Amino acid sequence: GAVVSQHPSRVICKSGTSVKIECRSLDFQATTMFWYRQFPKQSLMLMATSNEGSKATYEQGVEKDKFLINHASLTLSTLTVTSAHPEDSSFYICSAPNGPEAFFGQGTRLTVV
């Protein structure tokens, strides 16, 4: 079956630094990828839609200058959390559709100290 690889799986960073998370579709091309965030005991919430070769579209309330998304190829999307703060600590997960199916990365647990 299709595989989406996300890394790192876990990262701890200091306040004010930036963290890059990568999401790769390994055996299919993904013109669109989705980035979700999950706070404890909450459902996953869509942050942004990453579009290959064009600008990402962000959900209301998500700062595009803080969460930089780049989708430079058909198999790779990156999410960079810039100037991270403790409130950005969360679980981030990407997803790529392949036809009607949805495939998920392993997720990234970000802790900002």
Partner 1 sequence: KNEVEQSPQNLTAQEGEFITINCSYSVGISALHWLQQHPGGGIVSLFMLSSGKKKHGRLIATINIQEKHSSLHITASHPRDSAVYICAVRSWGSQGNLIFGKGTKLSVKP
Provide the binding-site residues for partner 1, judged by CB under 8 A: 9, 32, 34, 36, 38, 41-46, 49, 91, 93, 95, 97, 100-104, 106-107, 109
Q: Nearest-CA neighbor of 5 among 92, 103, 109?
A: 103
Q: How far is the CB of 69 from partner 1 (least distance, A)?
A: 14
CB of 106 to partner 1, least distance (A): 5
Nearer residue to partner 1 within complex by CB, 2 or 68: 2
Residue with the two structure tokens 């600008």: 55
Instruction: Output DSSP code: residue 18.
Output: -
CB of 77 to partner 1, least distance (A): 13
CB atoms within 10 A of CB 84: 22
Q: Considering beta carbons, is residue 60 or 83 the nearer one to partner 1?
A: 60
CA atoms within 13 A on the CB side of 32: 10
